[in-house]
């Protein structure tokens, strides 16, 4: 006997609107920064352009109700809370407080079984992808972790001191392949994580978006998160290859 699918409730429409407002704001903000810096400091354009792309994708995924949209938005929200907190440790800027608070709103608005009913709990995509509850749980964890790590990967690769466009492309392609249910997506995601992890352990400090140098190499959190996103699939892939 299967469990009933939870019904949407708890101000789902209002919470979704708040999350979209925050995602849309930062998609526009980072895009505007990229346009402004195009003539003043073009070396920063790829970084802000990459972040703008992340938030734009999250905005459309949530607005369209794609099954993975909630997971991706949760990951971006968690990244924003962590990033804002890190900046606050260096300098309690009002912008950092607003950044952390707005991303915390995204997390709160996207959390809960009621919101899940509007996204991954809707019937159809599970049957089409032939995924059971355990497989959906692995995918959920992987997408959230990858969404937390991707902005850090963009910072590591596209900041002026980064210079790893290929690594960002590999990680982004890996997440796309994962959502498509492709084994190569898991391998690409894990490979990007391992490369970023190695660079984070051996690399030099990088500049944050605020221009403040941090002693933390941003390849380290990116590598840890992307590697962790691919890890849950290691055993199923090994079992498939050895059967």
pLDDT tens digits along 36-81 = 999 899 989 999 999 999 999 999 999 999 999 999 999 999 999 9
Closest by CA position to 45, among listed 37, 55, 56: 37
More confident site: 220 or 186: 186
Specify whether the CB–CB gap between 174 and 193 falls below 8 A. no
d(Cα 226, Cα 150) in Å, to the nearest integer? 8
d(Cα 63, Cα 70) in Å, to the nearest integer? 10
> Which of 84-93, 193-202, 220-229: highest mean pLDDT?
220-229
pLDDT at res. 214: 43
pLDDT at res. 133: 84
Looking at the predicted structure, is the pLDDT value of residue 100 above 60? Answer: yes
pLDDT at res. 62: 97
Looking at the predicted structure, is the pLDDT value of residue 208 above 60? Answer: no
Q: Which of 17-21, 85-89, 161-165, 218-222 bottoms out in mean pLDDT, i.e. has the lowest?
A: 161-165
Q: Domain locations in the chain?
A: 12-242
Specify whether the CB–CB gap between 120 and 68 falls below 8 A. yes
Percent of residues, the chain, with pLDDT higher than 70 = 86
Angle at 74 between CA 71 and CA 77, to 5 degrees: 155
Q: How confident is the model at residue 241 (pLDDT cuts 50, 70, 90)?
A: low
Give the predicted TM-score (pTM) of the model.
0.88
């Amino acid at each position: 006997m299967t469990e009933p699918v939870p019904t949407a409730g708890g101000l789902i429409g209002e919470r979704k609107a708040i999350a979209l407002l925050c995602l849309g704001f930062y998609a526009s903000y980072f895009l505007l920064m990229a346009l402004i810096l195009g003539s003043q400091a073009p070396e920063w354009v790829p970084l802000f352009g990459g972040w703008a792309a992340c938030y734009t994708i999250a905005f459309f995924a949530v607005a369209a109700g794609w099954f993975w949209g909630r997971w991706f938005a949760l990951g971006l929200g968690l990244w924003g809370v962590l990033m804002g907190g890190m900046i606050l440790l260096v300098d309690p800027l009002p912008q950092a407080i607003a950044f952390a608070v707005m991303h915390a709103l995204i997390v709160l608005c996207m959390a809960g079984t009621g919101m899940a009913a509007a996204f991954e709990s809707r019937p159809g995509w599970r049957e089409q992808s032939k995924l059971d509850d355990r497989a959906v749980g692995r995918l959920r964890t992987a997408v959230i972790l990858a969404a937390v790590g991707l902005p850090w990967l963009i910072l590591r690769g596209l900041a002026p001191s980064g210079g790893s466009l290929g690594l960002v492309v590999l990680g982004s392609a890996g997440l796309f392949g994962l959502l498509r249910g492709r084994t190569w997506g898991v391998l690409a995601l894990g490979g990007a994580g391992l490369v970023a992890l190695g660079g984070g352990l051996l690399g030099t400090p990088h500049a944050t978006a605020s221009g403040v140098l941090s002693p933390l190499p941003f390849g380290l959190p990116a590598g840890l998160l992307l590697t962790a996103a691919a890890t849950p699939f290691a055993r199923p892939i090994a079992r498939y290859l050895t059967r």
